[in-house]
């Protein structure tokens, strides 16, 4: 499928926002780094916030597709897939371009819960939760909601620790905590 000018703009803007943040990235920087004129930019997006939302939607789709595919490639059983989340995170953390979670960043820069950018970030996390909850249910967890929430807390904490450089192997540490969590959740099963 041929990429449109709009698609190209969103893809390039995503890279720039991920690298620099949202408030620090002005329209002049976007014009300079994308090579797309302000006129063209405003033809596709009335505001920078509309462009941010489009970039977040693309990041959401790309990241979830990648993560879910990697989990399925790394593990076969539902319980193993719950641990494979952290193996996939370790791969992500090792990528040269890793700069943390774009949705954590967006929600920190746009803190009002009703703001569309904050809401888009929350929606990404909800979709991740729903997927992990389904895997927890497939694994036979007595309380899939609770287990999914706890695993995602470990996931989010590992991301923050990896960005801050506070753990030599945040994904491994989170995986070990997840193993204990799963052992407790499935005790006697």
Instruction: List the structure tokens of 73.
Output: 């490639």
Q: Percentage of the chain with pLDDT > 70?
A: 97
pLDDT at 176 over 70: yes
Could you tell me the CA-to-CA distances from 110 to 106, 117, 118, 121, 139 in Å, in that order? 6, 6, 6, 10, 36
pLDDT bin (cut points 50, 70, 90) of residue 68 is very high
pLDDT tens by residue, 108-154: 999 999 999 999 999 999 999 999 999 999 999 999 999 999 999 99
Long-range own/partner contacts, residues 146-155 (CB < 8 A, 24 or more apart): 147/82, 147/181, 147/182, 147/185, 150/181, 151/82, 151/85, 151/178, 151/181, 152/125, 152/128, 154/86, 154/178, 154/181, 155/85, 155/86, 155/89, 155/128
Residue spans of the domains in the chain: they are 5-185
Query: What is the DSSP code (8-state) at residue 46?
Result: S
User: Does the pLDDT of residue 188 top 70, yes or no?
Assistant: no
Position of tokens 């540490």?
Answer: 173
CA 185 to chain centre: 25
> How far apart are alpha carbons 26 and 4 in whole angstroms?
23
For the chain, what is the mean pLDDT?
A: 94
Q: Is pLDDT at 75 greater than 60 in this prediction?
A: yes
* pLDDT reported for residue 189: 65
State mean pLDDT over 168-172: 91
Q: Which CATH superfamily is domain 5-185 in?
A: Tetracycline Repressor, domain 2 (1.10.357.10)
pTM: 0.92
Q: Beta strands of 44-129 (E only): which ranges?
A: none
């Amino acid at each position: 499928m041929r990429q449109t000018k709009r698609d190209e703009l969103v893809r390039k803007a995503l890279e720039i926002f991920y690298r620099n943040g949202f408030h620090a990235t002005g329209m002049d920087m976007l014009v300079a780094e994308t090579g797309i004129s302000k006129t063209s930019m405003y033809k596709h997006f009335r505001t920078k916030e509309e462009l941010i939302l489009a970039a977040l939607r693309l990041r959401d789709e790309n990241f979830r597709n990648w993560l879910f595919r990697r989990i399925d490639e790394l593990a076969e059983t539902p319980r193993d897939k719950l641990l494979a989340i952290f193996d996939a995170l370790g791969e992500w953390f090792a990528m040269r371009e890793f700069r943390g979670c774009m949705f954590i960043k967006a929600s920190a820069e746009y803190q009002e819960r009703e703001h569309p950018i904050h809401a888009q970030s929350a929606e990404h996390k909800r979709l991740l939760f729903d997927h992990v909850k389904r895997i927890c249910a497939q694994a036979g967890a007595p309380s899939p909601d609770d287990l999914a929430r706890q695993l995602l807390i470990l996931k989010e904490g590992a991301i923050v620790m990896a960005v801050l450089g506070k753990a030599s192997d945040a994904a491994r540490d989170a995986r070990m905590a997840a193993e204990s969590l799963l052992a407790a959740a499935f005790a006697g099963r």
